[in-house]
């Protein structure tokens, strides 16, 4: 089972989380939304994050996040790995190419997906 952390930058966190929660029903992906922790003085210690796990979570997440970006004028999905590598998947990437990125991410130990405005 794969477990991936999703970070949201420049988009509405609740909107992205809501979109990904649909995967729980449709794709068998377990989604957990972790609110940000607030420290002294109201500063965020940890940003809000989404944790997803499941048998084929990478493919489902990337496809869902790219579908979300298709309705926006900007954005990209970046996968980062445990050894510091990263690869950006641009908006509009065809499904056949997504599978290439997924396989690369699995081989390189993907640990986080970032959806961000570009």
- The pLDDT value recorded for residue 111 is 92
- The pLDDT value recorded for residue 65 is 94
pLDDT digits (tens, 9 = 90+) for 2-59: 899 999 999 999 999 998 988 876 677 899 998 877 766 666 667 788 999 987 889 8
Q: What is the mean pLDDT of residues 103-113?
A: 91
- Could you tell me the residue range of the domain that residue 63 belongs to? 2-116
- The pLDDT value recorded for residue 82 is 87
**% of the chain surpassing 90 pLDDT:** 47
Query: Residues of 66-97 as b/e, b for ≥16 C-beta within 10 angstroms?
Result: bebbeeeeebbbbbbbeeeeeeebebebeeee
- Where is pLDDT greater, at 81 or 40? 81
Query: What is the number of domains present in the chain?
Result: 1
- The pLDDT value recorded for residue 39 is 66
């Amino acid at each position: 089972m794969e477990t991936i952390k999703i970070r949201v930058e420049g988009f509405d966190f609740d909107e992205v989380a809501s979109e990904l929660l649909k995967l729980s029903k449709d794709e068998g992906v377990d989604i957990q939304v972790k609110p940000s922790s607030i420290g002294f003085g109201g500063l965020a210690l940890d940003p809000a994050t989404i944790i997803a796990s499941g048998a084929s979570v990478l493919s489902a997440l990337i496809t869902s996040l790219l579908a979300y970006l298709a309705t926006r004028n900007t954005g990209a999905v970046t996968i980062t790995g445990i050894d510091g590598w990263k690869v950006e998947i641009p908006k509009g990437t065809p499904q056949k190419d997504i599978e290439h990125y997924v396989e690369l991410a699995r081989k390189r130990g993907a640990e986080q997906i970032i959806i961000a405005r570009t």
